[in-house]
Chain A
Amino acid sequence: MLSIKNLHAGVEEKEILKGLNLEVKAGEVHAIMGPNGAGKSSLASVLSGRQNYEVTEGSISLDGKDLLDMSPEDRAREGVFLAFQYPIEIPGVSNINFLKTAMNEIRKYKGLEAMTAKEFLALSKEKQKLVEFDAKLVNRSLNEGFSGGEKKRNEIFQLAMLEPKLSILDETDSGLDIDALRIVSRGVNKLRSKDNAFIIITHYQRLLDYIVPDFVHVLSDGKIVKTGGKELALELEERGYDWIKEETVS
């Protein structure tokens, strides 16, 4: 599905990703952990096409298509979805109209007919239930005045609606209370299939108890420095990151 090779990227002269490699296959869940400032969100940004990041070397392909060549909207239409670490508030844009526009632009790209209002409503109801997203929030302005947790839940609601191929969850767990964490995780687990994949960026092993990853990677200083199974997360929780840094130096 996703293949990242020797990715170098940065912002204004500053190199942040320094030769990153990652292979994600359909049906897999990959967790990425790592110290603050390591470049996790930067990786998510580069994948989704944020403008201020410049890729200086390497390649990213999704099912054989070169992602780096595409606009952010085309990446989304090809099935990339980023649940933002800090979802922005957009006053005046209604949550539901925005989603409908997104949905229909993606469908148009794929050569599908636009959804009728009725179909859309039914789908929206179903997905709201899945992530227990408050119906009142659906009709409000996009994220405006939402609590931190509500914003995160809205990201997962959108994810559920758009059913992307590759979902990247950037610290979706931070800011969620324990119940919300369980609900969101359950939602994600229901959405998992053999055809899609998830990259889950997190600082906390706890999330990985709910969404069990196939691989855990440690991203440090712009590179993946260690890869293991789900037990690696437990070890990180216990020992922190210093031992890995030492390991890679020696």
Chain B
Amino acid sequence: MTNQIETPLYERFAAKFEIASLQSGNEHLRALRQEAFDIFRSTGFPSVKNEEWRFTNTLPYLKEAYDLEVVTSELSKEAFDQTAKLIAAHLDEVQHSIKGEQKGAYRLVTVNGRINNDLSVLPDAKDLKILSFLDAEHEPAFEQHFGAIATVKDNAFTALNTALYTDGLYLEAPKNKALDRPLHIVNVILADSAVFLQPRHLIVVAAGASLEIIETVITDKTTNPVFVNGVTEIAVAENAHFHHYDIQTGREGIRLVHRTEATQAAGSNYSNYTFTLPGADFVRNNLSLHLNAAGLESHLYGLYLTAGSQLVDNHTEVHHKFPHGESNQLYKGVLLDKSKAVFNGKIYVYQDAQKTNAFQQSNNILFSEKATVNAKPQLEIFADDVKCSHGTTIGQINKEALFYLQSRGISAQSAKKMMVNAFAFDVTEKVKIPALRTYLEQLIAAEMSKHEEA
């Protein structure tokens, strides 16, 4: 393949797979992983010649001599203490805005992708089943869904994850169950050296169940390179509801490629809220939804606030396959410094998907002349009785509005913050958990203050 990037990393994964495939027990899984690895082997990591990666060159992030074997099942005493301390500080910060406001959330802690029960506060298993991914292989829903949702074809990173994932989460919301409060997943990243992590998750929301998940990230204080190639498969059954909040913060050295792929059944609602903030060097989100029945809805809300030389790339795909589906997509970007953002939103309306309502909007403001954004809607419509609309804007901050606020005594800096919050408002107002919304607004304001020159 001419598109292939040759990296030592590629060779090392090949060698690793040889060993791993010998160890794998389950026949079905072994076949799946073999197939996935064959795909990765033939395509390699994507280069910018690959249309899907045109504006996002991953090569600079794949050069490190990453440790591929970092996930251990037991944390050392030091690592445990360090993690506990980080979590305490993090929760303080998150809950500062929650104070007195609501009953809080359950807490599920993962360290480098692996569950840590000692640091977690979990709901009753009859309300939500939580297992480590490796322990879930014999769950019926696992057997049904694992590898059947995420698309490995033409997705080298997903193929690589499928072949060589380390561990992750298996969550199953039982039929007609609803937790009394959200589940807060705290993903802790610890890296003593350069590491490559491949978490793999499966979330099953059974018929009539509803689930609210908030994901946040905690990192150590080093700048050691960490590449996280994660995949989350989601199955939302009939009349089930899943509100999925992903708050992506990070630090220098972190590179994140994540694929979230969901299938939805009739009457279901999957809502994804992805907030990406400054910190990580590079983030690529692939969010792909399959509307596999008639009469259901999907919401995709995204906000990226980028800074420094950060690169944040959001690729979304919505597959309308049956009639009367509704998808609603709103992504907003605020770009500071010399950061770069990419938005690519694909909507497919299949021939049978009459009476589809598909809406997509992407708005961006550049705060700096050195920042760039590439935003592209991509609609492919094969049904004739549908309502689809899309719009993309890229602009600067409104100077007239800024002057108006200043003319009332508000400093230029606060005025900018107000305007960024106002710009983000269409997205933040969609957040259904008031405390989380406050937290996000504070995160945005804090980041804006850090970048005073913006």
Contact = CB atoms under 8 A, between A and B. Distances in A.
Given A92-B423, A92-B426, A106-B409, A101 B418 contact: yes
Nearest to B411: A73
Contacts of A99: 408
Contacts of A76: 406-409
Contacts, number: 75
B405 A98 contact: yes
Interface stretch (A47-55, A205-213, A231-239): A47-55
Interface residues of A, number: 30
A159 B401 CA distance: 18
A148 interface: no
Contacts of B399: 51
B404 A90 contact: yes
A88 B408 contact: no
B419 interface: yes
B66 interface: no
B422 interface: yes
Interface string A52-89: 00000000000000000001110111000110100110
A105 B415 CA distance: 11
Contacts of B409: 73, 76-77, 102-103, 105-106, 109, 162
B148 interface: no
Contacts of B423: 92
B125 interface: no
A82 B407 contact: yes
Interface in B373-409: 398-401, 403-409
B412 interface: yes
A37 interface: no
B100 to A, nearest CB: 15
Nearest to B420: A92
B425 interface: yes
A105 B411 contact: yes
Nearest to B421: A92
Given A93-B418, A93-B422, A98-B418, A158 B403 contact: no
Interface of A: 48-51, 71-73, 75-77, 81-82, 84, 87-88, 90-93, 98-99, 101-103, 105-106, 109, 141, 158, 162
23 contacts: A50-B403, A71-B412, A72-B407, A73-B406, A73-B407, A73-B409, A73-B412, A81-B407, A81-B408, A87-B404, A88-B401, A90-B398, A90-B404, A91-B425, A92-B422, A92-B424, A93-B418, A93-B422, A101-B418, A102-B408, A103-B409, A105-B414, A158-B408
